[in-house]
Structure 1
Amino acid sequence: MGKLAIQILFSIAFFLLLVSRFIPTTSQEVEDEEDFNYDPNGEKGPANWGRIHPEWGACSNGSMQSPIDLLNERVEVVSHLGRLNRSYKPANATLRNRGHDMMLKWEGDAGSIDINGTEYLLKQSHWHSPSEHTINGKRLALEVHMVHESLDGRFAVVGIMYMIGRPDSFLSSLTEKLQSVAGSYERDTVAGVVDPRSIKIGSRKYTDTLAPLQSHLAQKIPRGPLLER
């Protein structure tokens, strides 16, 4: 993620992934993420993920996995989902370069979101460049995943897409810290108190879908309901 790009990105859309705790262990997010990336033309890109490691073979033939292609023609517009109720608050955090993304992990209570009466606690956010998911087949400049976990081990991931444009205030506030870990992997850097409320959604619509939490599997699945709140 280039130093310049950090300062000139803004969010354009967001989506919600609900993740069951009853998913195979092979679909869990990996910590060592230098073996793959999101370059569509690269040797470690999505088209080749299934050949990088034997245990990643499902990436070549899976039918319900992430990343997701959000297609307009598959949208079902609904109104009963309601607002995405966010109750975030500032908390101490650390920053880590995990190889293909930057992860901001909250060490304290950073608040939660409420989905259908279930509270999901905010654990961490990480940024992919280019975006992990696509919109109508197009991969955007950047994407953040805000990862939440319920007390019974279920996950909810709020994803926000970015494109080149006016400066994003939240990313701009982290520029110095991001630059400090740009050349070092798997080393935590103290980020101080970080307010997740400053992460701008930038859209009045979201896509709600069910998918495994997978950092290294590529397969298009149908887009979920689109809601305007």
Structure 2
Amino acid sequence: MMNMQSNFILTLGYLLFLLIFSHPSSTQAQEVEDEREFDYERGGPIGPERWGEIKKEWRLCSYGTMQSPIDTSSQRVKKVVSSYNMYRKYKPSNTTLNNRGHDITLQWDGDAGSVLVDDTEYALKQAHWHSPSEHTINGKIYDMEIHLVHVSIDNKITVIAVLYNIGKSDPFLSKLEVNITSMIDQKGKRVDSGIIDPSDIRISRRKYYRYIGSLTIPPCIEEVVWMISRETRTVSKDQLKLLREAVHDYAENNARPIQPDNKRDVVFYGQGSRL
């Protein structure tokens, strides 16, 4: 009898192990890696307007009601005057730089920390760049936008976005310039970029927009929590040019068009009158 009980416990433990650890824990299984399947050419056969028609798994790109990016117009933003800060707890970790063809992605291979949203912890997985910006503020298009993608243990997604204007060099991007240069027009090339601290990405904790949207590339998964920093940063013309040269010609402008907001709530957290 004892052996039967022991075997049952071992079997149950093994099944629980499979259940927990077989669940995907990163966006690599969700975001499309092969850029040949889609592009950013407006009106083209595999451009943004057609993404939802290319594969049935991408139908949300055309028929979803919570798609991103959107414009955060001050006329419809609900302002919350609060001392609540965006709680991030990042730490240095090994990274890999990847030319995905449609963007340059910095992937943290180890534990790079997390962000806490509504008592749920989301682990930082990767960051990538879009130019021009995908999100707009009161209709203004910015020169660049970085997305920091976080995933919870149950595979929910939170993305923090920072917008950039042309100006002084971005110190964080400066650390990656040599490696990015080595992968110009080398789709699929991966480079070990060493230990990098994500805290070096300057993000305002006190002023940001928040709304529920989607991934901005296929399969356009929804129920993504977006937090867009209100404090804009600067990037140099040379840095922006380097990011564009690194990907293929068609993806030099790798920004998805603004999507219908469908009267979704957009909340601004912060003090002061500026939205």
TM-score normalised according to structure 1 size: 0.77
Letter in 1 for 2:260: K
Q: Deviations over 1:77-118 (max 9, x none)?
A: 013581001110111000001112111000111111111222
Equivalent position of 1:6 in the other structure: none
Shift of 1:195: 0.8
Over aligned residue pairs, what C-alpha RMSD do you find? 2.7
Structure number with larger C-alpha Rg: 2
Q: Which amino acid aligns with 2:269?
A: L
**CA offsets per residue over residues 29-85 of structure 1, 9 Å max, x none?**
211234444566877553454455565454344321122222221110013581001
- Alpha-carbon shift at residue 130 of structure 1 (Å): 1.9
* Contact 1:38–1:130, Cα closer than 8 Å, also in 2: no
What residue is the counterpart of 1:224 in the other structure?
Answer: 266
Q: Out of 151-160 and 37-46, give the one that drifted further.
A: 37-46
**CA distance, structure 2, for counterparts of residue 42 and residue 169 of structure 1:** 36
Residues 1:110 and 2:112 are matched in the alignment: yes
Extract unaligned runs of 5+ from structure 1.
1-27
Corresponding position of 2:48 = 46
> Are 1:98 and 2:100 matched, yes or no?
yes
Aligned partners of 1:100 and 1:128 also within 8 Å: no
**Which of 186, 190, 193 lines up with 1:191 in the alignment?**
193
SS at match of 1:181: coil
CA distance in 2, matches of 1:206, 1:46: 27
**Greater mean deviation of Cα atoms: 198-207 or 49-58:** 49-58
- Shift of residue 131, structure 1, vs aligned partner: 1.9
| Partner residue, 1:168 | 170
Q: CA deviation at 1:212?
A: 2.5
Residue 124 of structure 2 contacts residue 150 of structure 2 at CA under 8 Å; is this kept in 1?
Answer: yes
Could you say which structure has the higher helix fraction? 2
Higher mean C-alpha displacement, 72-81 vs 153-162:
72-81
Would the aligned equivalents of 2:83 and 2:270 in 1 still touch at CA under 8 Å?
no
CA contact (8 A) 2:82 2:270 kept: no
Unaligned stretches of 5+ in structure 2?
1-29, 221-256
Partners in 2 of 1:85 and 1:183 — Cα distance? 37
Which of 40, 61, 64 aligns to 1:62? It is 64
The AA in structure 1 aligned to 2:178 is E
What is the letter of the counterpart of residue 110 of structure 1? Answer: A
Does the 8 Å contact 1:36/1:44 carry over to 2?
yes
The answer to whether the Cα contact below 8 Å between 2:131 and 2:143 also exists between their aligned partners in 1 is yes
Structure 1 segment 1-229 matched on structure 2, within 5 A: 28-38=30-40, 45-50=47-52, 56-80=58-82, 82-201=84-203, 204-216=206-218, 219-221=259-261, 222=264, 224-228=266-270
Cα deviation, 1:166-216, whole Å, max 9, x if unaligned, reads 111001111111111121112211000111000012574111111233414
**What residue identity is the alignment partner of 1:194?**
I
Percent identity of equivalent pairs: 46
Q: Any conservation in 2 of the 1:99–1:185 contact (CA below 8 Å)?
A: yes
